[in-house]
């Protein structure tokens, strides 16, 4: 039996090496495709979350703005010595909701899941990843600051309970209040606490505006992705 020539052996070895390399490339391609599908699915879930986030922003922004305006109305009325524009409805709202300082329950669960699974690094849209991180930072800042903003309004609410009568005007959905305006305007502590409360409502509105602006920008990028599911957004889009 003749021995195998070195050329034949080298050729067979080369075939084996090429086969192994091709197999590696195929595995890498499969892994990349699987990761891309996971990223796509994560972005779809993220987009669904941000539909809810935008609705929450719209509702909460309206409530915060209305209450901020009402608290300012009470403060200026007490400073002027009469109910501005005779708007007793707004004045009562500013008394009832003086301590309405809400948390901002925007969801970033999808973003945290992408970090935990390592999928965030696979995003082709760098700006989207950056803005998701900024949103998480803004939310954490609001969680730290809002309990501090509640201190003045909480003290004001406690003070108001001693000088006004809270009631429901026919149903639990219609809280009202009876008060002697002269007693309120002559109470220096209440006037000063309203000064602090105006600041607190303004600070919450500031946080909410920054957060909801980010929610809108992120939602817009996610909507553009959903409109073109075969192409992830790029930095220059």
- 211, 57 Cβ separation under 8 angstroms: yes
Please, is 168 exposed, middle or buried when counting C-beta atoms within 10 Å of its C-beta (0-12, 13-18, 19+)? exposed
Please, is 117 exposed, middle or buried when counting C-beta atoms within 10 Å of its C-beta (0-12, 13-18, 19+)? middle
Which pLDDT value is given to residue 234?
42
Dihedral, CA atoms, 55, 56, 59, 65, nearest 10 degrees?
A: -130
Sites in the chain below the pLDDT cut of 70:
1-4, 6-9, 11-13, 17, 19-36, 38-39, 170, 226-237
DSSP 3-state assignment of 97? coil
Give the separation between CA 9 and CA 16, rounded to whole angstroms. 11
Q: What is the pLDDT of residues 115-144, one digit of tens each?
A: 888 877 777 778 888 999 999 999 999 999
Which pLDDT value is given to residue 151?
95
The number of beta carbons lying within 10 Å of the beta carbon of residue 20 is 10
For the chain, which residues make up each domain, given as ranges? 6-227
Which pLDDT value is given to residue 55?
95
Which pLDDT value is given to residue 158?
95
Which pLDDT value is given to residue 233?
43
Give the separation between CA 223 and CA 48, rounded to whole angstroms. 10
């Amino acid at each position: 039996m003749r021995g195998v020539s070195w050329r034949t052996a080298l050729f067979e070895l080369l075939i084996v090496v090429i086969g192994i390399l091709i197999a590696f490339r195929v595995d890498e391609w499969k892994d990349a495709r699987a990761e891309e599908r996971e990223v796509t699915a994560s972005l779809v879930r993220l987009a669904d979350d941000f539909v809810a986030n935008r609705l929450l922003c719209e509702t909460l922004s309206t409530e915060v703005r209305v209450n901020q305006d009402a608290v300012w109305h009470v403060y200026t009325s007490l400073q002027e010595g009469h109910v501005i524009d005779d708007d007793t409805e707004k004045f009562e709202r500013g008394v009832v909701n003086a301590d309405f300082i809400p948390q901002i329950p925007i969801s970033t669960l999808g973003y945290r899941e992408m970090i935990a699974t390592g999928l965030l690094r696979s995003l082709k849209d760098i700006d989207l990843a950056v803005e998701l991180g900024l949103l998480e930072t803004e939310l954490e800042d609001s969680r730290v600051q809002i309990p501090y903003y509640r201190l003045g309004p909480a003290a004001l609410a406690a003070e108001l309970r001693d000088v006004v009568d809270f009631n429901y005007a026919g149903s639990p959905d219609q809280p009202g209040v009876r008060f002697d305006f002269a007693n309120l305007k002559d109470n220096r502590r209440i006037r000063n606490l309203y000064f602090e409360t105006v600041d607190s409502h303004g600070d919450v509105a500031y946080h909410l505006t920054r957060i909801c602006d980010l929610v809108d920008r992120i939602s817009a990028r996610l909507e553009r992705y959903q409109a073109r599911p075969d192409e992830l957004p790029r930095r220059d889009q």
